[in-house]
Amino acid sequence: EVQLVESGGGLVQPGESPRLSCAASGFTFSNYWMYWVRQAPGKGLLWVSRINSDGSSTSYADSVKGRFTISRDNAKNTLYLQMNSLRAEDTAVYYCVREVTALARFGFDSWGQGTLVTVSS
């Protein structure tokens, strides 16, 4: 069974730099692109960042570019999101997401339960 378990969220002060982690199991982690998607309270889904299967290529939403860094450790089956210079508007549930990319099947097929990051003084 595919499992994605996020950790590292909580109450943080503006300007702090927490790191989110996502432990993956039940599949060959190194074969998949992975994403972080966030959802502010009562709002919709916003793509934050993505990383390819070997970690050589990354992309970021404009709202986090230069502040957040996505990375992965395929030996540890773990995805990370280093968040710097946090702002109140970064308050959200952050989901770790697997993307399946095949002609037979495509999309964000597995989601973690999410970790809430609340930025407040």
Partner 1 sequence: DIVMTQSPDSLAVSLGERATINCKSSQSLLYSSNNKNYLAWYQQKPGQPPKLLIYWASTRESGVPDRFSGSGSGTDFTLTISSLQAEDVAVYYCQQYYNIPRTFGQGTNLEIK
Residues 39-68 that bind partner 1 (CB under 8 A): 44-47, 50, 59, 61
Q: Which stretch binds partner 1 (CB under 8 A): 11-19, 38-46, 69-77, 84-92?
A: 38-46
The Cα 109–Cα 90 span in angstroms is: 24
Inter-CA distances, 9 with 56, 90, 92, Å: 26, 12, 10
Residues 94 and 114: beta-carbon distance below 8 Å: yes
User: Closest approach of Cβ 103 to partner 1, in Å?
Assistant: 7
Name the site residues for partner 1 (rule: CB under 8 A).
Answer: 35, 44-47, 50, 59, 61, 95, 99, 103, 105-109, 111-114
